[in-house]
A and B are shown apart, each in its own frame.
Chain A
Amino acid sequence: MPLRRLFAISSVLFLLVLAISPAKNALRSYRSLQRQYRKLASSRAHSLKSAQGYEARPVAIQQIWLRDFENRVDRCTTCHLGVADPLMAGAPRPFDLHPGTPHTPGGFDRFGCTSCHGGQGLATTQPDAHGSSVDAGPPMTPPVFIEAGCGRCHLSDSVAGAPVLSRGRALIARAGCYACHAVRGQDAFRSEAPPLATLPLKTGGAWVKRWLKDPKSVDPNATMPNFHLTDQAIDELSHFLFAAQVPKELAGRIEAAAAEPPGSSANGKKLVSESRCITCHTVEGKGKGSAPELSKIASTASRGWLLAFLREPQAFNPRTAMPRYHFSETESRDVVAFLEDEFRDFDAPKDILEPLRVNQSLAENGRKLFRLYGCFSCHDPAGSGSEKFGPELDGIGDKRAQSLDFGRRTDLVRALPAWLAAKLESPRSFADGLKMPSYGFNADDSRAVTTALLALGAQGVPDRYRYAPPQKPALLPGGPVGSLIQSYRCLSCHQIGDRGADVSTAPLTYEGSKVKRDWLVDYLVLSYTLRPILEERMPVLRMPREDATQLADALESFYVDPSILADPFAGRPASDADPAEGQRLYVGLGCRGCHILGSSGGYYGPPLTEAGKRLKPGWTYAWLKGPQRWRADVRCPDYGLSDTDALRLAAYLETLVPVAPSAKPEKAARGVR
């Protein structure tokens, strides 16, 4: 080809090729989107001036720069132009107003977008920003897991407004994940799983094998996961467990108890129903509790063990939630007799409680398996040392899909949430030789746990953004009062400060300011139903009166809140505050809609029939001034009462004392149904 023609052609090509990139740049999609937005917004504008304002907006990249929040840059608003503009409510997708949440629309300049939604804030193209293309940055969190974003900053177990996250965190704690996996801030976690030292005297070889095969099939409340053991492994582990040396002292107790004469099943039935076991345990699935199912307990544990355990549960498992009931020797025998008669698995083989004759070589293999599967993490945490058995979970929420090992699971979407869900559902399906057991989470549980896991970021957010609700100090005295609180396991149901479980609606933190001491003593000795609709009720612990007095005195003197006035009437008699007017208020405000008073009233709040005997007026006053202050999610509405009105009502309630202090407990004791 002649040189000049070649030169002309190549020059023109040169020009054309060099023009491609600027042309592509000029046609970037955000530009046309911004022009569309201008048109849409100005057509929606209420005034000519604001329409002109929209029209005049330049086409440019928008960004939210959060220097103090991990130096985050979110350019989502380059396309999502209307997120903070009320005018754009209901507009088509990239332009619509962001739904209102605790942090929006007011908080965009503090939180940006990616802090909740994930994705790549720096990107200005949709596939890269949303992380939908293969090697783009971090993908967006799918909307079902959106609460994972809350969990990055909100570090408490329970996060108000994030029910899925809170549930996920609770499930993780209950499943004992922290026993094997290290997670920041959970170093102190201890599983409630029982030590296995007394197992040879507790149950039989057949039962242990059944249990190891699938704990949930034996007890639906079991927290122990299914390790999918082979029959041989089960056999070896059973031999190892039965080879354990039972501590002499406990063995003595169990054997002595086994030798005792049988008790009265009929009396046992009455005692069980009074003791409200179903507050924690379930019986054939009835009851809200999550403690072991009782309906087959007699085919799980030997009579001697049950009796010895019932008399002092903490000697067998120092971490148990089970309180110590002060049954007399006979009473405890009666209770166990009832359990033996009624709560038995009648389909179970006769020899289910026969101890296993130990084969030492199998037991030796079992010992290896016990280590191999990390059983010690839950059952013998002291023996596990400081090393956690499983890989640490911190940062799992920021893992990139490319760095995950999908192994055999070619069926999965290559994304972190899918991987986590599959890990939870069938952990062993990824490769051979994996040890993680399966927990039998249902779809909802699995979603909640995945949400909580996605909240575990690689780095903690800056201090300014970290939020944990203010720590309520937990006063836990030592000495005799402390050991009483320990042995009655008050914290299994009640909260003190931030310690303890949330089963009871009555935290003990300010109980001394709330209830009158004399009432409390009586109540501790023989508790009765305060809130008829709740299934979780205070059990009758058979507390001796001196214990009750000691506890009540301690509550009276230590567990007080300085903001609750001891005497709201300021030294004057309560009648000065006009209780008659208070009664009128009681009617006028509709309190009877929820509270029982005398023979009528709603079935929701606690009965007020004997409020004057039970509640201190200072508490009543403080409560009426704002119930939510004392319990954030309480349903009792805040009426916005004036001081005078609140005082009048308090005075009225103070007048409510039972006419004839008859024995209530018969009516209330409904126990096991």
Chain B
Amino acid sequence: MRIRAAALALVALLTVPAACTRKSAPAGAKTPAAAKTPVVPPPLRYEVRLGKVTFTHYCQTCHGESGAGDGFNAFNLDPHPRDLSDPQFQKKKSDAELADAIQRGGAGVGLSALMPPWGHTLSARQIDELVLYLRTLPALRKPST
């Protein structure tokens, strides 16, 4: 008799959490998915991906991961690195101007010399890819603000 009672209790114990999980699982599965969707950035084109690699390697230390000018080396720099994800700034500058600034550096375009010229380090194609990537930065910025 006692054995049977124990078995019943055991069965009850096992079924209760099972029932709970069955109920909660779909709901739980739904919410993170719904929350996630806007965060996932759109897949980048091949050239843009290459640009991103270049950005991460050479620019991120000062301009920061999102281009906001908050790289870990930025606090040393005066003037502060440019916020590249600023839509206003992006609107103002043409692709050629951006490429020129990368190529000749701050000093070359009459700005701070702390932005070095990359024309001897990066190929013209890499710079073009970089510009393409820079153009995607404002879009990436939105969800965080």
B-binding residues in A (CB < 8 A): 99-101, 163, 533, 587-590, 592-594, 600-604, 626, 628, 633, 635, 637-640
Contact = CB atoms under 8 A, between A and B. Distances in A.
A85 to B, nearest CB: 17
Contacts of A602: 73, 76-77
Nearest to B48: A99
Contact of A601 (B45, B62, B76, B106): B76
B72 A603 contact: yes
B116 A589 contact: yes
Contacts of A638: 120-121
Contact of A604 (B73, B105, B120): B73
Interface in B94-143: 105-107, 112-121, 125, 129
Contacts of B119: 640
Interface stretch (B5-13, B23-31, B34-42, B53-61): B53-61
Given A635-B61, A637-B120, A603 B47 contact: no
Nearest to A588: B113
Contacts of B125: 100
A594 B73 contact: yes
Contacts of A626: 120
A129 B97 CA distance: 43
A638 B61 CA distance: 17
Q: Which of A100, A533, A592, A628 has the most CB of B within 10 A?
A: A100
Contacts of A99: 45-47
A635 B57 contact: yes
Contacts of B77: 593, 602
Contacts of A593: 62, 73, 76-77, 114-116
B107 A628 contact: no
Contact of B120 (A587, A589, A603, A640): A640
Nearest to A593: B114
B120 A590 contact: no
Contacts of A533: 72
A603 B116 contact: no
The 9 closest A-B pairs by CB, nearest first: A638-B120, A590-B113, A593-B114, A99-B46, A640-B120, A637-B116, A590-B114, A602-B76, A638-B121
A604 B121 contact: no
Given A99-B45, A593-B62, A601-B76, A637 B118 contact: yes
A635 B120 CA distance: 12
Nearest to B53: A163
B29 to A, nearest CB: 19
A639 B76 contact: no
B129 to A, nearest CB: 8
Nearest to B47: A99
Nearest to B122: A637
Contacts of B112: 590
Given A603-B73, A635-B61, 13 more contacts: A99-B45, A100-B129, A588-B113, A589-B107, A590-B112, A590-B113, A592-B114, A593-B73, A593-B114, A602-B73, A602-B76, A628-B121, A638-B121
Contact of B116 (A101, A633, A639): A639
Interface size class of B (residues with CB under 8 A): 20 to 34
Nearest to B62: A593
Contacts of A604: 61, 73
30 contacts: A99-B45, A100-B125, A101-B46, A163-B53, A533-B72, A587-B113, A588-B113, A589-B107, A590-B106, A590-B107, A590-B112, A590-B115, A590-B116, A593-B73, A593-B76, A594-B73, A604-B61, A604-B73, A626-B120, A628-B121, A633-B57, A635-B57, A635-B58, A635-B61, A637-B105, A637-B117, A637-B121, A638-B121, A639-B120, A640-B119
A53 B133 CA distance: 35
Contacts of A639: 116-117, 120
A250 B75 CA distance: 54
Contacts of B50: 101
A635 to B, nearest CB: 6
B67 to A, nearest CB: 17
**Max count, chain A CB within 10 A of own CB: residue among B45, B58, B76, B107:** B76
Interface string B63-84: 0000000001101110000000
A163 B49 CA distance: 12
Contacts of A163: 53
Contacts of A101: 46, 50
Q: Which of A590, A594, A601 has the most CB of B within 10 A?
A: A590
Nearest to A98: B46
Contacts of A637: 58, 105, 116-118, 120-121
B113 A589 contact: yes
Contacts of A590: 105-107, 112-116
B55 to A, nearest CB: 12
B71 to A, nearest CB: 9
Q: Identify which of A101, A587, A592, A637 gathers the most chain B CB atoms within 10 Å of its CB.
A: A637
Contacts of A603: 72-73, 75-76
Contacts of B72: 533, 603
Contacts of A601: 76
Nearest to B46: A99
Contacts of B120: 626, 637-640
Contacts of A589: 107, 113, 116
Nearest to A633: B57
A604 B60 CA distance: 12
Contacts of B107: 588-590
B86 to A, nearest CB: 21
Nearest to A634: B121
A163 B47 CA distance: 15
A653 B127 CA distance: 31
B99 to A, nearest CB: 15
Contacts of B45: 99
A590 B116 CA distance: 7
Nearest to A635: B58
Contacts of B106: 590
B90 to A, nearest CB: 20
A443 to B, nearest CB: 15
A637 B54 CA distance: 13
A600 B61 CA distance: 17
B59 to A, nearest CB: 9
B114 to A, nearest CB: 4
Contacts of A628: 121
A605 B6 CA distance: 70
A589 B116 CA distance: 7
A604 B62 CA distance: 9
Contacts of B114: 590, 592-593
A535 B116 CA distance: 26
Contacts of B76: 593, 600-603
A263 B6 CA distance: 56
